[in-house]
Amino acid sequence: RARDAGGNCYRFFSPAMNQRAHDRVILSSVLGTALASDRLRLVYQPQVSPHTGAIHGVEALARWRDPVRGDISPMRFIPLAEEAGLIQALGEWALRKACGQMAQWMADGIGIPSVSVNLSARHFREPGLPAMIGAILQETGIPPDRLMVEMTESTMIADLDSTIQAARAIRALGVGLSMDDFGTGFSTLANLVNLPLNEVKIDRSFVDGLGRVDESRLIVNAVIGIGRNLGMSIVAEGVETKEQLALLDELGCPVVQGFLISHPLEAERLPEWVHTWQQSYSTALAPLPAA
Ligand code: C2E
Ligand code: MG
Ligand code: MG
Ligand code: MG
């Protein structure tokens, strides 16, 4: 940059870069306040069997609506939270909120078997994480198998040993462990074998190519085979079309998640969704003739 400016060595940052850095600092501090005052919320996206329609669980996804700036995407504020050192606080908030919500659904007799919470790779390197999860389970009183924790492989390589330790401790609590966005990171197969996973999520990019790109079908098929051989469940993410759904069912994928099934929903809307889904899924999905 300084070089581009034509030998003006004092200009390390262009005005545009300064502006962006400034925005980031402001936004980080606003995010800190939002977190402290509970101005973030979780929405929940259903996951179902493509074959029977049975509800597998929901994934909790963070949403931030700032009074001035409007909706800010997690694609933007999660990296911000990481930079600002807020990601542990955000993860703890999400775990407490999601487990509390699960306790409520259970008390109301709503048929949602589990809730998945996304945790940053950075969080897995915190020695206190498993104990904190244990404390939240106690606090909210939900059985551990009602909770699933999602990790992504893309950034965990930095300290794989401590990640594996944390993963084992979390599993020892009875909590499920899921590998998110599978296929987008590094040394993925080694991670699948070394981590005590219950579930692998096939990244949306591969689901997106189903029926259009030959390689996508190959990759999806391979991941389903590997997952099954390792005794894991497989969730296909980002299912948007009936064609994708039918192909995934044909390939034996046990769980799907995507806009075709439902967009992420506000917590209060889940009971109504579950009710409607249970009434109608057999006719709505039915990619195969009933046995
Ligand atoms: P993810 O965990 O892979 O979540 C799936 C993302 O795909 C969500 O985006 C969801 O809204 C979106 N999605 C679901 N179905 C479809 C579909 O059919 N088509 C398309 N195009 N998209 C679909 P969202 O909510 O914007 O979250 C983006 C990412 O931000 C998440 O990816 C996750 O990595 C991260 N994130 C969200 N909430 C949290 C959180 O509480 N903590 C952490 N650490 N990360 C979070
Ligand atoms: Mg996820
Ligand atoms: Mg994902
Ligand atoms: Mg993702």
pLDDT, residue 218, reads 92
pLDDT, residue 2, reads 41
The answer to whether the Cα torsion of 80, 266, 261, 177 is positive or negative is positive
How many CB atoms are located within 10 Å of the residue 258 CB?
A: 24
227 in Cβ contact with 200 (< 8 Å): yes
pLDDT, residue 4, reads 47
Please compute the mean of the pLDDT values over residues 67-86 and round it to a whole number: 89
Q: Which of 10-24, 72-86, 158-172 has the lowest mean pLDDT?
A: 10-24
pLDDT, residue 115, reads 98
289 — pLDDT class (breaks 50, 70, 90): very low
> Which pTM value belongs to this model?
0.90
pLDDT, residue 221, reads 94
Nearest to 237 by CA among 267, 216, 214: 216
Please, which residues have CB less than 5 A from ligand 3, an ion? 180-181, 237
Using CA positions, which residue lies closest to atom 2 of ligand 1?
118
Atom of ligand 1 nearest to the CA of 240: 18
- For residue 68 the two structure tokens come to 């001035």
Please compute the mean of the pLDDT values over residues 251-270 and round it to a whole number: 97
- 103-137: per-residue pLDDT in tens? 999 999 999 999 999 999 889 888 999 999 999 99
Please compute the mean of the pLDDT values over residues 53-69 and round it to a whole number: 93
Q: Which residue has the higher pLDDT, 192 or 56?
A: 56
Q: Is 119 in the pocket of ligand 1 (CB under 6 A)?
A: yes
Ligand 3: centre distance to CA 200 (Å): 10
Q: Which residue has the higher pLDDT, 250 or 15?
A: 250
The yes-or-no verdict on residue 272 having pLDDT over 50 is yes
pLDDT, residue 268, reads 96
Ligand 4: centre distance to CA 75 (Å): 8
pLDDT, residue 97, reads 96
- Residues of the chain above pLDDT 90, percent: 62
pLDDT, residue 3, reads 44
213 — pLDDT class (breaks 50, 70, 90): confident
Using CA positions, which residue lies closest to atom 33 of ligand 1?
118
User: What's the mean pLDDT when you consider all of the chain?
Assistant: 87
Ligand 2: centre distance to CA 118 (Å): 5
- 273-284: per-residue pLDDT in tens? 999 999 887 555
Ligand 1: centre distance to CA 102 (Å): 19
How many CB atoms are located within 10 Å of the residue 215 CB?
A: 9
| Cα distance between residue 136 and residue 215, in whole Å | 42
The yes-or-no verdict on residue 44 having pLDDT over 50 is yes
| Cα distance between residue 241 and residue 76, in whole Å | 27
Query: Could you tell which of 31, 41, 48, 61 is best to mutate to test the pocket of ligand 1, judged by most ligand atoms within 8 Å of the CB?
Result: 61
How many CB atoms are located within 10 Å of the residue 16 CB?
A: 8
Q: Which residue has the higher pLDDT, 291 or 13?
A: 13
Q: Is 120 in the pocket of ligand 1 (CB under 6 A)?
A: yes
pLDDT, residue 187, reads 59
CB-hemisphere CA count at 13 Å for 141?
A: 5
| Cα distance between residue 112 and residue 274, in whole Å | 8
Atom of ligand 1 nearest to the CA of 260: 18
Query: ipTM of this predicted complex?
Result: 0.98
Please tell me the number of the ligand nearest to residue 62's CA: 1
